[in-house]
Amino acid sequence: MICLFFFKLRKIGNERASRNIIRDAKIKSDEIIKNADIIAREEIYKRRETYEKETQETKQELRHLERRLSKREDNLERKIDLSTKKEKYLENLASNLSNKEKELNKKKLELDGLIQEEKNTLLRISGLEKENAEKLLLSRLEKEMEQECANLIEKHTQKAKETAETNAVSLICTAIQRCTASNTIENVVSTIELPSDEMKGRIIGREGRNIRAFEKATGIDVIVDDTPGSIVLSGFDSVRREVARVAIKKLIIDGRIHPTRIEEVVKETEKEIEQIIQETGKQTCFDLGILDLHPEISNLIGRLRYRTSYGQNQLQHSIEVSQLMGILASELNLDSQLAKRCGLLHDIGKAVSGEIEGTHALVGADIAKRLDEKSEVVNAIASHHEEVPIESVYAVLVNAADAISASRPGARRETLEKYIKRLEKLQTIALSFNGVESAYAIQAGREVRVIVHPDKVNDNVAAKICHDVAKRIEDELEYPGEVTVTVIREKRIVQKAK
């Protein structure tokens, strides 16, 4: 019985515990359901807000797109209206042109008929044959045209002077004043001072072996004469002459002069000169602000240091032309860097070997083109002696800057014989014109003064003679700078009182 009692008591306890657990579980489940409901509602609210926000943004974007489409539609309508108006205008214009063309053709036919009728009337009145009348008319027209031509030349010359002379003079003077360059004159020989006359014998060597080895290694002639304390190196290749000059000085200082040592020193000196050439080219480009040149072109620029033309150092000449080009281009609102590049490279053809066929302008242009220089630079190089047509304003500026640099006082030298021939040719050209009494070349050939007969030549014809003389000088003579042609027409009346 006791066991049964305890069993029932345990059963009652388990039931109570179960009811408590069920009650607790129900309370927890209610709380969980309540919390889940709250979370779900919050989530629904958030999603609804996000949806409304996105919907609002979409509506705004759609309204914006609608406005843009409306504007585009309006623009298209306006363009269509304009196109329609243009088409109508062009149609009207074409119709008017067609009518005018018909009227012109009609008037042309009427004019041809009137001209023919006038010719027939003139032939009938003059009593001349057609050929004679034509000759007489052409003769008169030729005289009238000559007079008219002289008047036009005078008129246009005066107009050009009034409008261009002041600006041109100012521009060129500004460029020259802002550009200064030293002018070094080099010859085809170099004189080497010796410490003593004994050194001459050592340079010659036993049976002349040293001097022969030196001449073979350098390609330069060594002249040993009776001049005390000096020898002369002679050669047209200025680079090789510079190698020979530096090498002989090294040998004199070293004192060991024999064929083997000569070959070593010459090879060493050739490397040094080549290094100097490269550094000179790079430094020149750096000084001018031209930093993207091909190394081969830079090397050619360095070689110009040892080249001369009419006694003018080619590197200094090229630098001067480049500086002038930069100034002129700046004054004209052009690309000054491109202009300086054209000026620096215009004579690179002079730096290559004489074995290459062609003029230095064309050779230099080929090199520039091969190394991918701009077309303006290639044309400026090729056309600076007018061997090919000028295609850009930079080529015109190169011609001007080249002439300015070459024609500076003391920039170039020429032989006396060539100078006299040029003066004689100037006078001969001037004297070849009808009505010229005398002609004189003055100012070292920079000016030619032409005196005409005042009774045979009037002022207009004098202007035409001046123009024709200048034109013939340009076509037939080669000269640095420019030549001024001055025509003088002076009538003198002399009477003696007795």
Summarize pLDDT for 146-194 with one digit per residue, the tens.
777 777 777 777 777 666 656 666 666 665 555 544 443 344 567 787 8
Question: What per-residue confidence (pLDDT) applies to 419?
Answer: 65
Question: What per-residue confidence (pLDDT) applies to 310?
Answer: 64
The pLDDT tens digits for 371-404 are: 888 888 889 888 887 788 888 888 888 888 887 7
Name the nearest CA neighbour of 485 among 424, 442, 433, 421: 442
416-489: CATH topology is: GMP Synthetase; Chain A, domain 3 (3.30.300)
* pLDDT beneath 50, residues of the chain: 180-187, 409-414
Alpha-carbon span 423 to 445, nearest angstrom? 6
User: Given the DSSP bridges, would you call strands 484-489 and 447-452 parallel, antiparallel or unpaired?
Assistant: parallel
Question: What per-residue confidence (pLDDT) applies to 118?
Answer: 77
Q: Domain extents for the chain?
A: 189-278, 304-407, 416-489
Structure tokens at 122: 């003139």
Structure tokens at 36: 């889940």
3-state secondary structure of 189: strand
User: Given the DSSP bridges, would you call strands 312-313 and 308-309 parallel, antiparallel or unpaired?
Assistant: antiparallel
User: Cβ neighbours of residue 433 under 8 Å, at least 6 residues apart?
Assistant: 450, 465, 468, 469
Question: What per-residue confidence (pLDDT) applies to 181?
Answer: 46
Question: What per-residue confidence (pLDDT) applies to 351?
Answer: 81
**Identity of the residue numbered 455:** D
User: Taking the model in full, what pTM does it have?
Assistant: 0.48
Q: Which CATH architecture has domain 189-278?
A: 2-Layer Sandwich (3.30)
Name the nearest CA neighbour of 307 among 245, 219, 239, 243: 239
CB 457 within 8 A of CB 465: yes
Please provide the CATH number assigned to the domain covering 304-407.
Answer: 1.10.3210.10
CB 384 within 8 A of CB 365: no
Q: What is residue 294's DSSP assignment?
A: -
Question: What per-residue confidence (pLDDT) applies to 168?
Answer: 64
